[in-house]
Amino acid sequence: MKDKAIKLLGDELKLLISADNVLKYTYKKCEPIEINMNCSQNEIDFLELLTSRFARLSDILIKKIFRLIEKIDLDDDGTIRDTINRAEKKGLIKSADLFVEIRTLRNDFAHEYIPEAMTEIFVDVFKLTPELFDSVNRVKDYCKKYE
């Protein structure tokens, strides 16, 4: 059972690294954009792409990678908040509070349509994206112990 979970983790890590690379590419494309209500449609398209890729990477981390690590390490199941708290204790993330903010932002983006609110979401996504990059590096380091 544990061997299957470790193999699945290896497969999920490949997906994680791919999603991380795609988000890094989009993040770099968005760096020159001054996020405000006067963004061009092209800039908005890139910001929406960034936000979508941000959400995808956060989901892969929280729902797949962190949960698999819990399974391998024989941690109890629990809420997403429990998973995030354990990820902080294992050093997979810097701060549980930041990851709760990331999760909330991901949920807000999925249900927001008002342009003014989207501008705020874009600013927050841009600010929090480096936390995802940091977590990917921490996960890769942590998972070396399973090799």
- Digit-coded pLDDT (tens) for 58-71: 999 999 999 999 99
Residue 20's pLDDT is 98
Please tell me the predicted confidence (pLDDT) of residue 116. 77
- Residue 35 — left, alpha, or beta (φ > 0 → left; ψ -120 to 50 → alpha)? beta
Question: Shortest CA distance to 48 belongs to which of 111, 104, 118, 98?
Answer: 118
**Using one digit for the tens of pLDDT, what is the confidence trace for 17-42?**
999 999 999 999 999 999 998 999 99
Tokens of 9: 């983790």
Q: How far apart are CA 14 and CA 26, in angstroms?
A: 19
Length of the chain: 147
pLDDT number for residue 1:
67
CA 24 – CA 29 distance, rounded (Å): 9
Least confident among 26-35, 72-81, 122-131, 135-144 = 72-81
Mean pLDDT, rounded, for 3-20? 96
Mean pLDDT computed over every residue of the chain: 94
